[in-house]
Each structure stands twice: as structure tokens, then as C-alpha cells.
Amino acid sequence: LTPFERGKLLYKFSDIIEKNSNNLSYLESLDVGKPKSEAEGDINGVVNCFRYNAGAADKIEGATIPLGSEFVDYTELVPLGVTAHIVPWNFPLGMAARSLAPALAAGCTVVLKPAEQSSLSAIALGDLIKEAGFPEGVINIVTGYGEQAGSMLVNHPLVKGITFTGSVETGKIIYGNAAKGIKPVVLELGGKNPMIVFPDANISKAVDDAIDASFGNSGQVCSSSSRLFLHEDISEEFLKEFEDKALKLTVGPPEENPNLGPLASEEQYDKVMSYINQGIKDGSKLRFGGTRPNRFSKGYYVMPTLFEKVDMTTQLAKDEIFGPVAIVHNFKQEEEVIKMANAYDTGLVAGIYSENISRSLNLSRHLDFGSVWINGWFIGGLQAPTGGVKMSGIGRERGMPGIHNYLYIKNIGVHL
């Protein structure tokens, strides 16, 4: 297809997804327990993601390189070919769209492997692909376990590029396997993201953002604000408001449309509870939450949880928990908070809250993270690139850099 026709097809696909959004969001809730409005928001994001990339499909351009009057030299951006997309269960269709849409816009064919915990919406998407009229074989969906289906995809000789979102451990395995075929990879592997709040910040705004960023999707978000660094002058004021607002959040099944749904699986529930219990054993102070809400005797529900006085060397402080569990550290000096924020081997997102923009911009240069957000969280939506440094990953998704993951540069040089 021409780039323009690819764009048209992707626009059509977006419209079809939008028409089916009720069913798709229902399937997300059914699969991973997402509250109704959260699932609806996710599908809205999927539609927008396909639209963004549809619009970009015919704006992918190479360059001419001046080598002097005896030469003509230019680049063509060539689609990689067949690309594999291995996604996790926290935003099943959202993560799939983030990965598929730019690959399709670039002119690649795609094979999607949803997570074994959350394949329903991907399968439903399969019917919509037919309705949109994509040529046979352009979009393929393979369900299955990671070690089988995922690993076969990564190792398949026809697969020319791999995009993976998930855990650091699985990311290492995929990177290793991709290396055998010298295949390009995009890896987004999560983090332990610091939110740094200075005394001159708009505290209520910072609290609202911290609530959303720590507890939204029940904390099962790579870019959640899982470490709160509060300047000691405002720490208690912040925490009182934070606690007050957190305890008003509702927790329940998706159909009640609560603020927090259950965690996605028994495995995830057990993992989160074991971090909480270990944190208590290690001497961290549980300020609130830490259990299932009283009204439930079963189910994967966890109350919004906050720990204080957390030793930086404990698992609670270091690991990505992927549940509604935030921890707080206090700081006095900027140098001290830079050190603490950069202390671990992940670096996905950091946030700074301060009305002093010079300070924030300066500080952003000292934070080893793929994104730094100032006075807001989850900034950038579909257009701004996202990805990690250190063990948080390789490559950038979203925006135009997201499309360039699926293109290689061919240089054509002519001696006149």
C-alpha cells in the first residue's frame, strides 16, 4: 500500500475500534478486573493511538546529504518487515496499540502476542481487523505462554524486529534471544519512579497527582509514582492530605466502577501482599492500607497503601511492586534527593513538583530517567516519546520516534 493508503486504513481501523469500544472495554474489565471507566479510558487511548499513527503514515521522510557537486546522496526509510509485539496484561489493548500502530504506519507486518492472563481483547481485535479490510497476513495475533509462543516468535528467522513491554527479567531473556539473530529490540521494562516535591510546590495538585499516579490501575502501571520524595518542610502537610484522599478511594469489582479494581491475578495479589508483609518485617512503618478492604473476605483487592521510614536497601524500597503501594522518603537538600532518586538500576520516569521552573529544569538534567515530568504526571499521552534508561529498557515508544523503531535507514549514494 502507499503510505497514504496505509494511513486511510489505520483511520478506518480506529473508527471501527471506537464503534466497538463498549465490548472491548468490557472484555478488559472481565480479563483483568479494571473498573468500568478506567477500561473505557484505555480503549479511548487505543483509538487515539491508531489515529495518531494513521496521520503519521504519510509523513515518514528520509534526508538528502550534501557531499559536494559530484555526488547525490539520500536516505530511504525502509520498513523492517515482520515485527513481533509481546505485551503485558496491565493495559492489554493499550500496550498492543502502542506497539502495533506505529509498526503498521511504518509499513511493517505485525504479530501480536498478548499476555496469557489477558488475551480476550486481542482476540476481539482480530475480528475488527477483518472488518477494516487489512490485506491478509498484515496483522496476526498469536495467543500463548511466554516461554512457548513468545519465545518462538522472538527466535523465528522471519521476525526482523521485536517490541516487548514487561518485566526486567523477561526483558533480559528476550534481549539475549534477539541477540542471536542480531535483531533490533524495543524494551520497556518498568521502574521505581520518584516523585520529588519541594516546599514551593502546589501541594494539593501534587497530592492529587500522587494519588492518581500511585493508585490508578491499582498501581499496575510501569510509570506509577511509587517513591514519593517529600521535602521535610512540607512532608507532614502533604501526607495528611494524601492519606485523607487515599482513604476516600473506593476499592471493588469492576461493575461498581470503583477507583481501584482488584489486582489482575492471584499471582499478582500474592506478590504485592508478600512485598507488604516483608516491608513490615523489615521495619518499614505502614501508615495506612496494607490489607484487603474489610468488606471482602476474598478477591484480589488491596487497599491503597503507604509506607514511611523505609530503608533504601530493602526490597520494598527498590523493587517495582506493581500494586497500590507507595513509599515515602523525606529529604532536605537537592543533592541528597538527586542521589536517592538515581540510586537504583532502573530509570523510567521521575517527577518534580516546584513552582521554581529554573530549579526544576536544572534538576531534570541530573535525573537519570527516560522522562522527567514537571508539575504533572502522565504527561505526553500519545505524542511524547517514552522509555527507560539503565535497566528500564532500550528505545522509545510513542510519537515519531515510536515509528522509527520499525524502519531502517538505507543510504543511497551516487557518484555523478
Please identify every residue annotated as catalytic: 188, 222
Grid coordinates belonging to 263: 489486582
Q: How far is the CB of 125 from ligand ADP (least distance, A)?
A: 15
| CA nearest neighbour of 228 among 200, 196, 203 | 196
| CA nearest neighbour of 13 among 46, 57, 62 | 46
Nearer to ligand ADP, 12 or 271 (CB): 271
Window 33 to 92, contacts with ligand ADP (CB under 6 A): 86-88
Q: How far is the CB of 95 from ligand ADP (least distance, A)?
A: 9
Is 147 near ligand ADP (CB under 6 A)? Answer: yes
| Residue partners of 277: CB distance under 8 A and separation at least 6 | none
Is 146 near ligand ADP (CB under 6 A)? Answer: yes
Q: What mask of x and - would describe binding to ligand ADP in positions 106 to 135, judged by CB under 6 A?
A: -------x-xx-------------------
In what helix (H) or strand (E) does residue 205 lie, and over which residues does it extend?
A: helix 203-215
The one-letter amino acid at 360: S
Nearer to ligand ADP, 20 or 90 (CB): 90
CA distance 401 to 392: 17
Which stretch in 75-83, 143-151, 233-241, 275-283 sits in contact with ligand ADP by CB under 6 A?
143-151
CA distance 72 to 126: 45
Window 314 to 343, contacts with ligand ADP (CB under 6 A): none
| CA nearest neighbour of 405 among 37, 62, 108 | 108
Q: By 3-state DSSP, what share of the chain in percent is helix, strand and coil, each rounded to 5?
A: 40, 20, 35
Of these, 121, 151, 259, 386, which contacts ligand ADP (CB under 6 A)? 151
Q: How far is the CB of 88 from ligand ADP (least distance, A)?
A: 4
Write the CA distances from 183 to 75, 80, 314, integer angstroms.
Answer: 21, 10, 36
Nearer to ligand ADP, 86 or 403 (CB): 86
CA distance 117 to 135: 29
Nearer to ligand ADP, 167 or 375 (CB): 167
Of these, 154, 310, 316, 350, which contacts ligand ADP (CB under 6 A)? 154
Contact yes or no for 95/165 (Cβ under 8 A): yes
Nearer to ligand ADP, 88 or 399 (CB): 88
In what helix (H) or strand (E) does residue 394 lie, and over which residues does it extend?
A: strand 393-394
Contact yes or no for 366/340 (Cβ under 8 A): no
Q: How far is the CB of 156 from ligand ADP (least distance, A)?
A: 11
Q: What mask of x and - would describe binding to ligand ADP in positions 162 to 201, judged by CB under 6 A?
A: ----xx--x--xx---------------------------
Nearer to ligand ADP, 170 or 305 (CB): 170
Grid coordinates belonging to 93: 489493548
Positions in the binding site for ligand ADP (CB under 6 A): 86-88, 113, 115-116, 145-147, 150-151, 154, 166-167, 170, 173-174
